[in-house]
Structure 1
Amino acid sequence: MHLVPPREADRLSSLRALGILDTPPEAHFDAVCRLARTLFSVPHAWISLVDADRLWCKAASGIAFGPTPRGAAFCDHAVMSEAPLVVEDAAADPRVRDRAIVTGPFAVRFYVGIPLSLATGLPLGTLCIADTVPRRMPDAEVERLRDLGEVVVAQLRHYEARVASETEAARRRASEAALSEANRYLTLAEQMAHIGHWRVDLASGVMTWSDEVCRMHGLAPGAPPAGVQEALSYYHPDDRARVADLVAAARENRTDFHFKARLVRRDGEERVVVSHGICNVDAAGTAIALFGTVQDVTEIDRAETELRASTALLDATLAHMDQGLLMIDEAGAVRVCNERALALLDLPREMMRAAPSFDAVRRHQLAQDDFARCDGTLREVLMHAPLAIQPRTYEHERANGTVLEIRTVPLPTGGAVRTYTDITARKAAEAQVTHMARHDALTGLPNRALFRDSLDQRLAALRRHGGSCGLLCLDLDAFKAVNDTLGHLAGDTLLREVAGRIRACLRREDLPARLGGDEFAILLGGEADARSAAATAERLVAALRRPVDLGGQEAVIGVSIGIAFAPEHGLDADTLLKRGDLALYRAKSEGRNTFRHFAAAMDRAAEERRRNESDLREGLHRGAFSLHYQPVFDLASGRVTALEALARWHHPTRGTLAPAAFLPLAEETGLIAPLGEWVLRTALAETREMPPEIRLVVNVAGGQLRQAGFVAAIRDALQATGQAPERLELDVAEAAIAAESGRLKDLAALGIGIAFDAFGAGASSLGALRRLPFGQVKLDRALAASMATPETADFVRAVVALAGALGMRATAKGVETEAQLAALREAGCVAAQGFLFGRPVPFGELAPLLCGGVRCPGTPRSRSA
């Protein structure tokens, strides 16, 4: 451990302030060391400086050492005071005898150290002399060494002065740099804020201004004006006098001033500036200078102008917008309330002018409404909920029936905007749209979607809780005939009347629906049983059987009804509807204008129908069909005038089937179109070689007439087989006429013959006879069978007369006996066909007939025969 002087921190601070430690050797210090050796006849002399933990040698003579630990030499003792340290025999001195300078290579035995102090009590180092032998040194010699030490101190003071000078120079440079930096920052700040400063010396009249003021005037930086008058000349002529008066008044009255004016730059651009100025006075109160700032506020002024315009536009928008609007500040006060809000919420204008709290407005609003009409959650929101942190929208119906959509949007600065939109009309429209989406537009009854949802819900409840329900499926009878005869408007009127009668027959808990077209359904309410369902069905049949007046024309229809029950006939909607439809089909097939309950046998019949449909499709695919032909005889000549093509289905298990066994199924399944096309093409191809005077007759079903490409298909078939259109005659049954949409006229225009087939089997529309291009009328085969009765005979005579009046031939079908033939001849029929003349056979077996070798019975032969 080394010794530490009393004021070690101050001493070290003074030493390090010199900046001398670790500096290169200097000649004047080395000279002192050489002089000391010579004066005191010693081998060693050096100047050491004592740092915190080391001894550093600034100069030496006769000895050389680098930085040495402070405790390895004598100097830590020498700097303990300002008195010289004299060691006459180091080996005998316990303070230093163990130090390396004594025991080591230098072998110092004699030592004198003079403390070097720049300030009292702060020795920085020592001037040392040493010898390798013990010695005594007189006091006079010690004083002489002290004088030499003062020389070293003087050199250190020179060091101190130089350091002080350099420090001051550095401080000045730093101050100048800081001032320059401050000026640069001031210039940047002025540029960024568009603020400049200026000064007028009142004694000399000299005016100075900053570079930013130059820029405002459109001048190059560093170009000050010649004086105040030139500076005033930059202002707009309309502002110049006012600015000059303000400056003069400030100088005279030694007051501050402020103005806003327009500058006109040399390029003609106008800038708006704001200037603040003060008058500087000296101690005697004499005005010595005017100083001020000027700020370019052109953009601010323009923004303020735009803001005023925007504010005016906003005010106009708020006053005329369709929404009510309240703006609430962060303290909860209503700062904006437009006219629409006053009207929608019945707010007093006087209350809103006073910027009331939003809570006060809310209390007033709720007082106007029947608050009990709100549900609990909404009531809690309206009464107690704070303004929303997130946007929130809800609806509220006021006591006067107005429905408001209330939306609250928080503002970033606190508070919120609340809008009130009158959605009464929209809600009514939505309700209407919802009603229309779930109800039939024509009758107002629930539609298929609503009925299906209600049925699903009812069945779900039955599955959970038990019970029963009844389903009625309705289909109008003879509706299509009314629609086709009297038109769609009459049909719509009829459907509306039907809907009204259905409603009148039902209880309040029953749900009627129109499923589409003339199909209706009823979901019976409450527990259902067969007897109550039958009673309802009977009422419906009776009600819908009554005639309907359609604008002076009376229409009579009927209804067929199928009844099914859950859970007996199914617990899912598809199954229950399917079985209701099966019961409906049974009612139609058993006479119509009646009802039937579903029975298991109906499922079996439906399965049989599905098998037959599959077989029919497969038969068409495999080519399991052939054609037989039945001749049509002219009753006057007895010769064959036409062949009617009749399809035969060669069923793999049921044998050969006539058309009556499969044509209805083909009509229902849509297979009639491909089957009919096959019949047409095959018949045209097979009869190409028959005599030209004989026509080919092909039956046409309604499903074929409904095809958009039906006419083109017939034209293509004629071209493919080379047959003339005049060779072809199409028989159109009464049931198919309803599907006619002008195609028969197109066919007649090609030269194809058109016949009204099975006339008398149904309603036999006389309007169709007049409207459509029929060339002949073919009587239904049932008429031939009943010709023995006077009524039928009279009817046939009337039909034949009507056909003649319309320019048509009358042909009898289904003739099986000589008596029937005679009666038909007498009634006026000119042609006939039936089993009496032979059963239908393949075309190849008709050669004798086609050659004229066979005549119909009862025809007289010519003498030449």
Structure 2
Amino acid sequence: MVGLRNEDDTASDNALEAKEERRLARLRSLGLLDTPSEEGYDRITRLACAIFDVPIALIGFFDRDRVWFKSVQGLQIREIPLDLSLCKQVFQKSGIVQINDASRDPLLRENRLVAGQEHIRFYTGITLDLGDDGPIGSLCILDRKPRRLSPVKLEILKDLASLVLDEIRLANKTREIERNRQMFIDAVEALPDAFVIYDETDRLFTCNRKYRDFYRKTGDAILPGATFESIVRAGVERGQYPEAAGREEEWIADRLHRHREANEPIQQQLADGRWLRVYETKTRSGSTVGFRVDITELKLREQQLNELVNRDALTRTLSRRAILEIGKQQWDRANREGQSLAVIYCDLDHFKEINDRFSHAAGDEFLVAASRVMMSALRTHDFIGRLGGEEFLLILPETSLSVAIAVGRRICEQVEAIKLTHGGQTVMTTTSAGIAELKSGQSFEELLNGADKALYQAKAAGRNQVACG
């Protein structure tokens, strides 16, 4: 029957509608509609006016029911309904549409741009097409007098249309780059750790807020384009790195070397007490990518574990292992720098009798009291550790034999003065001390043996006294 539509017609209409929706979606994704003029597009319309010697040139984009003009030369217009626009001819036919005299065209002569005060006669437009879904716009030239373009001029118009498409693609690529850049920035800022990139010339490319927060003292030196060395030096000058104090140039040289090698993580202490683990790696382009991970809590737990390992659980003096390690280090330093070094062995006299007579709890209490007395007799750079039982080792750097003897005697006097009460009874005892001073060419073991022999001499001489080895 005439007038009835079959399924093929409906399917065709649906396909056209879907295509139009894709075209509109593509157009809107380009961000061209309802936007200000841009020099890139205006330059092309100015060129068109000059090349074709016309007063009017337009770059318009086809919305659903209007034409939005991105660039206009010669008219005061930003948009026009699609049905009233001469550009509709291009939209419907695609390719190039040339109208030599619109006043003679029965479809156009009533158009307000033709019949009205604009008095348009000549129109040539070419579609702007980015894909298979139909044109997104057109480049048009208009004149108020009839005329015809030569084939050469039509080719030039095609070239100008290609420039418009290039401008669209460039703008789209620029927006894509900006979106990607912003995504990168957002991702970097979302990282839980500090992040930084130095380029192939070792200048700061980017970093996140966490990185700046870690290095607050360095502050305004952390600027894009600043060299890694200048940032490190600024941090050292402002006290960012406690480890650098007193050896600034040596520390900077070591840090620069590790940064350039970038082959293993390092630990870094900051002025505010935080600890960082610094990871750096070189990329194929020669830039350096770095992370800073806050390991302060881990460091505190490590220190607590070290405290358990290196401290005697009862007296809180150094453990046997720790005091012997420190003693060896101080022996090495004394030999290297030509300084004096003294050691003291202290052993509580008849201590077993306290345990047997009063209990081990009383013995422990006396050990704590005696260790406090010994610590009070030392300077801040001296060391004391419990070797085991009732025996203690004291390391006295930069100390002569005479000074060490005075320290030993003071300890003997103060230990003898300790009087504890346990079960209504007084707990007291004395201590003996063996002292040795480092001699030229003497090993650490020989130094300790000298103090040990002196201790036995003090015991043999009646205890509660000092002897020298």
When normalised by structure 2's length, the TM-score is 0.49
**Which has the greater radius of gyration?**
1
When normalised by structure 1's length, the TM-score is 0.30
Indicate the structure whose relative CO is greater, using CA pairs within 8 Å and at least 6 residues apart: 2
